[in-house]
Amino acid sequence: MDAAAQLKEALQKMPQLIGERLCLDFANTVEPRGGISTHHTSLRDYLTSYTDLIAWGYHAHLLTEERSLHLLREVEQRPDDALAQWKRAIALRETIYRVFWLMANHEQPSQADLDALRQEYLAAVNHSWLVKQGDRFVWQWEEDDRALDQLLWPIAQSVTTLLTGEDLERIKVCPGVPGDPVLCAWLFFDTSKNRNRQWCSMADCGSVVKARRLTERRRAARASRATRSS
């Protein structure tokens, strides 16, 4: 299968981007999550290979189609390096999830996890430089066609930006649908004006919960009418 076909196939199974922050979307590439202590056979991992990682990067607008195809061809020449970078990416993903899940639940992340995020950020900064854009300066990533870890650089930057520059009280965990064997537990940054977003998506968990509540209200109303008529 050529690179274009690989990319097209992998893109067909990519998850929704509902986290509102890049690093949270990256953490949400397992479904359902269930929390930090869940190891359930029903969990679906969207990133089971370096090819999936590239496809997600394209899906999340981190990579152009041209760069994605180039990296896929690079993998064919360097399979061991690609495997190592995939393992590194998964380790980063799980660290991100643990840290922000704990923070969303008002718990303190471990220093080991924070140190791991710091190391990834420092590694990313080594591949960037400051350039003037209008009346300010911005970080720009170097363009290295052979860098198999380039997808991790903006993710690491997103983590640091979220940790140091945003309202951490807006980080939330989707409660999922009551009764499900493994709850959704996807992470998201609540951008709503009143901070009242409850679910990962109204088209997913939110719609199911609301439909169940409507059914319960209708049942209760029917029961009440039946009681009065008797």
pLDDT of residue 95: 98
Say how many domains are in the chain. 1
Judge whether residue 14 has pLDDT over 70: yes
Kindly provide the residue ranges of all beta strands, DSSP E only, lying in the chain, ordered along the sequence: 30-31, 44-45, 128-133, 136-141, 171-173, 187-189
Over range 226-230, report the average pLDDT.
50
Segment 152-195, tens digit of pLDDT: 999 999 999 999 988 999 999 998 887 777 889 999 999 999 98
Nearest to 31 by CA among 176, 189, 179: 176
pLDDT of residue 219: 45
pLDDT of residue 161: 96
Q: Which residue has the higher pLDDT, 106 or 196?
A: 106
Assess contact for 189 and 18: CB atoms under 8 A.
Answer: no
- Domain ranges, residue 218: 3-229
DSSP β-ladder status, 187-189 and 171-173: antiparallel
Judge whether residue 229 has pLDDT over 60: no
Return the amino acid letter for 69.
L
Judge whether residue 211 has pLDDT over 50: no
Q: Which residue has the higher pLDDT, 77 or 227?
A: 77
| Greatest CA separation for the chain | 78
Over range 42-48, report the average pLDDT.
89
Tell me how far apart the alpha carbons of residues 27 and 101 are, in angstroms, rounded to a whole number. 10
Assess contact for 96 and 117: CB atoms under 8 A.
Answer: yes
Assess contact for 188 and 20: CB atoms under 8 A.
Answer: yes
pLDDT of residue 180: 77
Segment 138-150, tens digit of pLDDT: 889 998 889 999 9
Tell me how far apart the alpha carbons of residues 79 and 196 are, in angstroms, rounded to a whole number. 46
Q: Assign residue 54 the CATH number of its domain.
A: 1.10.3300.10
Tell me how far apart the alpha carbons of residues 178 and 185 are, in angstroms, rounded to a whole number. 12
End-to-end Cα spacing for the chain:
70
Judge whether residue 212 has pLDDT over 80: no
Taking CA atoms, 121 is separated from 14, 86, 126, 212, in Å, by 25, 17, 9, 43
DSSP β-ladder status, 136-141 and 187-189: unpaired
Residue 44 has φ and ψ, to the nearest 5°, of -110, 120
pLDDT confidence bin for 38, thresholds 50/70/90? low
Segment 48-106, tens digit of pLDDT: 999 999 999 999 999 999 999 999 999 999 999 999 999 999 999 999 999 999 999 99
Specify the pTM. Answer: 0.87
